[in-house]
Structure formats: structure tokens, C-alpha cells
Amino acid sequence: MKRKAYLDWAATTPVYPQVIKAMTPFWRENFGNPSSLHRWGEKARKAVDESREKIAALLDVSPLEIIFTGTTTCADNLALQGIAEAKRYQGKILVSAVEHHAVLDVAKALARKGVKVAFVPVNRWGEVKMEFLEKEITRDTFLVSIMMANNEVGTIQPVNKISELIRRKEKELKTRIYFHTDAAAAVGWVEISPPKTGVDLLSLGAHKFGGPKGVGLLYKRQDVVLSPITFGGHHEFGLWPGTEPVPLIVGMAKALELTLREKEETKKRVEKLRDQLIEGMLALKGVTLTGHPQKRLPDIASFIVDGVEGEAMLLSLSDYGIAASSGSACSSGELKPSHVLLAMGIPPEKAHGSIRFSLGRETTEEEIRYVLRVFPKIIERLRGFQRGIKNV
């Protein structure tokens, strides 16, 4: 079926045409290895250096603080594992209970290596509990990792307040505490500049904002000490070895430039469409909004639908040409509720009924109207099916 409504932009985005154009010369014409000492290599190295400089300027940081990686997940791993390795796995880290698995799973792996890990709880809106964070930051704490905004429910975390708290605790405890944020979901919607947000490390991936898949970056403030976690070359300051993917890096730089240039205009338009979707969804019986009602990303509208499972909704929506996502994941035949929703205090039986619509720069009002026209039919049919099963 022809696409009628792609509302899964938080999962991945279509690449900007301008990005494709910028990348094209580096597939064949300027295909050299950036480490090679000939003119093909020189052209490739120049493209990487110029992309690094462009991204650094957009983020208000030094080019020496930008490390290209494979994905956001790679950047998260480099940040957490790299600092823990530098600390010889001695000490404590704090991560929020609603982090992406790219951070949560790394934290759990570090715990198995001897690092003390505390998971910061959240309130019913998905905001981290600042009082817990303040109490748990002790003299042996060397890292705090809190995502900038949640990719599932859209709640924006108080990153500036967290940074201020960490800096105050550093002075009180006379120790250095690094602050890392996964900003993958936040690019193009909220302020991500490290000098303005107060973070020491920041991860993001190009495919979330109109760039190609397969490339990400880690911003690392120059005074942050990282040990490499992969080996095999001198690339990326010795922290991410392997030949740089020149076309992808060029594409990421161009995508970030376009995204930040269009930020305010896109944000205003998408926010209006999101509110229209939320209003229509909440008019339906048994549908509730998840995440903070005000402090949320402009592109995320997430809900709990009573009496229906998330996977069933996704399959039905897909039949109508609509793309969305659910916090529930089917694994080994077992439907697992979202860890984010459970951390927010939503019971497992309700969390199974989660659905997330995420909008983007190309989302239209026609798409929103189509979803609101189709969705009531879907949940009515699925609830009827569920009632039929219970009556058997």
C-alpha cells in the first residue's frame, strides 16, 4: 500500500535531498581514504575536516571536541565505557531509569565490571527526580548520564538544572563529575549546544535529523579523559578507529546545518500538528496522553489505549498505510511492556497498550486528519476482538 501517513519520525527520518547531493561526489569521484597521502586522500581528509568544523561551529564548540562514530549507540558506548575504563571501573555512575537501551544496557554491563550504578527514578511525567539525583551524587560519582529528551513519551529533561546541580556538587565534594546526555531525540527541537546546556559529553546520530544512517558523533569537552574501547587505528583522535565514512560524515554535517537553520519554522508548524493530533486522540474513550503535558518535544504524541495491545494497533495502522511505533516489544514470543512507561508508574497491563506517533518536517495536516479518521475504527475493532476472546 502507498504510504498515507508516516508518523514514525522519531525512529528514523528521510534524508534531505540537499544531503544526498552533498554526499554524492564522495561515493565515486572523491572516494579516497582520508588517511592516504595522495590527492584522493587529501580531498577526502579535507571533506572530513570541513564537516567537523561545520558541526563544531553549529554546536558552538571546538573541532577538536567532535568525534565521529558509527551511530548514537556507538557514541553512548564510547562516552560511558570510555570514562569507566579511564577510571579503572572504580566509582559510581548515575543514569535515569528512562534512558534508551544504548545507555541503560551499557550501565548494566559496567555494573558487572564493578562500577556502582544508581538508576535515577522519574515522576509520572517521566522527569527525573532531582532530590534523588542530589542525594545520590557522592564523592565517588564520576559520571551522570541523563538523556536530553525522551524518545518515547517526549518529556524534556531539565538538563540545565542538572548541570547546575552537578557543578555545585563538584565544588562541595571537591571532585570532577562528568555530565553526559544522549541528545538523539532532541536535535532540531530544543537547544543542544553544550556551552548553553552545560554538558561535558553529548551523543547524536545523523539519521534522526535528515542525515544518513550509519554515522553519529560524540561531543567530548577537551578536559574529559576517555580511554578507547575499540582498537585498530589512530582515527578520531585514537578514540574511534577505522576509516572514516566520508560521504556519511559530509551528509551529517549538511543535515545538521539544514535542521538547525529550519528549526524555529519547523518546530512551530509541527507543534501545531502535534496538538491537533493530541486533541483528536484524547476525544476518544479510554485514551490517555503519556509524558509531560507541556514540557515535551514538539514532535511526539504518545498514548495509552485501554483494552488494546500496542503491537495489534501497529499492525492495523500499517494495513491502512500508517506508520507509528509502540513501547511494547515482542521478543521470543513474549510481549514486554516499555521500561519507560513502567518507570513512570504505569501498570504493565496498561503499558501494553502504548502507541507513539512522531511527526517531522514533511508531516502534513492531511496525514493527521487521516489518522484521526482511521484510528477510532481500529480500536473499536480491536476492542471487540478482545471482548470476543474473553467471552470464549
Q: What is the pLDDT of residues 4-22, one digit of tens each?
A: 899 999 999 999 999 999 9
Order of strands across the sheet with 354-358? Answer: 287-289, 300-305, 354-358
Burial pattern 16-44, b for ≥16 Cβ within 10 A else e, equals beebeebbeebeeebebebeeeeeeeebb
Is the model more confident about 383 or about 115?
Answer: 115
What pLDDT shows up at residue 328?
Answer: 53
What pLDDT shows up at residue 336?
Answer: 80
Q: What are the residue numbers of the active site? A: 330
Q: For residue range 295-309, what is the model confidence (pLDDT) as tens digits?
A: 999 999 999 999 999
Cα distance between residue 215 and residue 248, in whole Å: 6
Residue 47 scores a pLDDT above 80: yes
Cross-strand pairs, 216: 69, 205
What pLDDT shows up at residue 332?
Answer: 34
Which amino acid is present at 269?
R
| Mean pLDDT, residues 201-205 taken together | 98
Residue with cell 546520530: 205
Cα distance between residue 284 and residue 144, in whole Å: 40
Q: Among candidates 268, 285, 291, 266, which has minimal Cα distance to 357?
A: 291
CA angle 248, 59, 256 (to 5 degrees): 35
Least confident of 58-67, 205-214, 328-337, 380-389: 328-337
Torsion of CA 93, 97, 99, 104, to 10 degrees: 60
Q: For residue range 324-356, what is the model confidence (pLDDT) as tens digits?
A: 998 754 433 456 899 999 999 999 999 999 999
Residue 87 scores a pLDDT above 80: yes
What pLDDT shows up at residue 385?
Answer: 72
Cα distance between residue 70 and residue 281, in whole Å: 37
What pLDDT shows up at residue 392?
Answer: 43
Q: For residue range 32-44, what is the model confidence (pLDDT) as tens digits?
A: 999 999 999 999 9
Going from the N-terminus, what domains does the chain have, and what CATH number goes with each? 5-13+263-391 (3.90.1150.10), 17-261 (3.40.640.10)
Strands (E), the chain: 5-6, 66-69, 92-96, 116-120, 141-145, 178-182, 201-205, 216-220, 287-289, 300-305, 322-323, 329-331, 334-336, 354-358
What pLDDT shows up at residue 384?
Answer: 84
Residue 227 scores a pLDDT above 70: yes
The grid cell for 63 is 573541532
| Mean pLDDT, residues 97-103 taken together | 97
User: What residues contact residue 245 under an 8 Å CB cut-off, 6+ apart?
Assistant: 68, 214, 215
Q: Among candidates 362, 197, 193, 379, which has minimal Cα distance to 303?
A: 379
pTM: 0.94
Q: Is 231 exposed, middle or buried (0-12, 13-18, 19+ CB in 10 A)?
A: exposed
Q: Is 389 exposed, middle or buried (0-12, 13-18, 19+ CB in 10 A)?
A: exposed
The grid cell for 136 is 545520590
CB contact at 8 A, 22 and 33: no
CB contact at 8 A, 322 and 4: yes
State how far the alpha carbon of 169 is from the alpha carbons of 93, 173, 359, in Å.
14, 6, 38
Percentage of the chain beyond pLDDT 90 is: 93
Residue 236 scores a pLDDT above 60: yes
* Residue 390 pLDDT class (50, 70, 90 cuts): low
Please compute Rg for the chain using Cα positions.
22
Mean pLDDT of the chain: 95
What pLDDT shows up at residue 2?
Answer: 53
Cα distance between residue 107 and residue 92, in whole Å: 10
Residue 25 scores a pLDDT above 80: yes
The grid cell for 249 is 560524515
Q: For residue range 113-156, what is the model confidence (pLDDT) as tens digits?
A: 999 999 999 999 999 999 999 999 999 999 999 999 999 999 99
Residue 3 scores a pLDDT above 90: no
Cα distance between residue 41 and residue 237, in whole Å: 18
What pLDDT shows up at residue 144?
Answer: 98
